[in-house]
Amino acid sequence: MRVFVTGASGWIGSATVDELLDTGHGVVGLARSDASAAALERRGATVLRGDLDDPDSLHRGASEADAVVHLANKHDWGNPAESDRAERAAVATMAEALVGTGRPFVVANALSGLVEGRSVLETDPSPAVGPGSDRGGSENLALDYVDRGVRTVITRFAPSVHGAGDWGFVTFLVAAARRRGVSGYLGDGSATWSAVHRSDAARLIRLGLENASGGTRLHVVAEEFVTTRAIAEAIGRALDLPVVSVAPADAGEHFGIVGSFFGMTMTASSELTRKAVDWEPTGPSLIEDIDSGAYTR
């Protein structure tokens, strides 16, 4: 298939581009800068210059492709409302371009805020509906298009999609540990995160694109439960720093932006996902990655 990938230069997107090219697909990657365009060309992808704020580029990419994988996100942590607005607008533009085609539309989401107090299941709908909701309600918006002839597949990513070269939440925790001279966890450290290695995430995106039926929610989760204390302990071992409990009231000051996530339990089952598309994660665990120096070299 000729696959249009937004966020193709990103952490998950670049692995997805490699996975798609390695399995015989063609890739057209959205790039908003010369650097991203050059990186995509080096991987063997075709470049479509554009931006989340340029709907014509999104419409063109989606309408000229056999499938769309949407991974771009502004990740403007200082202005999440703008990230959410752009996310909703981008999903609407690409979904409109796909109406009536039956083509796959793989849309990224995260696990935060989906359910309270237990692991999220694939059967749990997202409570985010409409503009102004988390990620602009883009999951439900994209799913609304299933009835209009779009094969929407949602990929809900674990809060840590890990591996050497990651620039996500775990790198923020490592930076905080270096800054503070201690590796912290919040409270008793019993909050848990799910995790997945980047290579397993990319393979699941490809399998979802090829095989999942419209309306499927896939959980990109290899390990359901990793305690935040175990993460802090691994960072402490890797940096040879003491491991300490941090009071929840001091989360922001101690950790910076990741402090607002580190005390949250963000876990999901992937039992139905594995059955739906015959996916079995094979990459290293998050703790193995941290222990191997992937975050501290």
Ligand X SMILES: NC(=O)c1ccc[n+]([C@@H]2O[C@H](COP(=O)([O-])OP(=O)(O)OC[C@H]3O[C@@H](n4cnc5c(N)ncnc54)[C@H](OP(=O)(O)O)[C@@H]3O)[C@@H](O)[C@H]2O)c1
Residues that bind ligand X (CB under 6 A): 7, 9-13, 30, 32-33, 36, 51-53, 71-75, 108, 110, 157, 159-161, 168
Q: Residue 227 CB, nearest distance to ligand X (Å)?
A: 18
Helix ranges, the chain (H): 11-22, 34-43, 55-63, 80-98, 138-144, 169-180, 198-211, 228-239, 251-255, 259-262, 271-277, 286-291
Q: Whole-number minimum distance, CB 157 to ligand X, in Å?
A: 4
- For the bound state, the minimum distance from the C-beta of residue 228 to ligand X, rounded and expressed in Å, comes to 15
Nearer to ligand X, 136 or 182 (CB): 136
Among residues 182 and 287, whose Cβ is nearest to ligand X?
287
Residue 47 and residue 29 in contact, taking contact as beta carbons nearer than 8 Å: yes
Q: How far is the CB of 100 from ligand X (least distance, A)?
A: 26
Instruction: Look up residue 55 and give its DSSP letter.
Output: H
Degrees to nearest 5, angle at CA 19 with 222 and 144: 70
Beta carbon of residue 175, minimum distance to ligand X (angstroms, whole number): 15
Read off the tokens for 273: 């996902």
State which residue has the least CB distance to ligand X.
Answer: 10
Q: Please, which residue, 110 or 150, has the CB nearer to ligand X?
A: 110
Calculate ∠ Cα 231-276-261, nearest 5°. Answer: 25
Q: Judged by CB, which is closer to ligand X: 158, or 182?
A: 158
- Quick one: 126 exposed, middle or buried, by C-beta within 10 A (0-12, 13-18, 19+)? buried
Beta bridge mates, 28 = 4, 46
Least Å distance between CB 23 and ligand X?
19
Q: How far is the CB of 211 from ligand X (least distance, A)?
A: 20
Specify the residue, 182 or 192, whose C-beta has the smaller distance to ligand X.
Answer: 192
Which runs of consecutive H residues, i.e. helices, occur in 44-165? 55-63, 80-98, 138-144
Q: What DSSP state is assigned to residue 268?
A: B
On whether the CB atoms of residues 17 and 47 are closer than 8 A, the answer is no
In the complex with ligand X, the residue whose CB is nearer, 91 or 246, is 91
Between 33 and 79, CB nearer to ligand X:
33
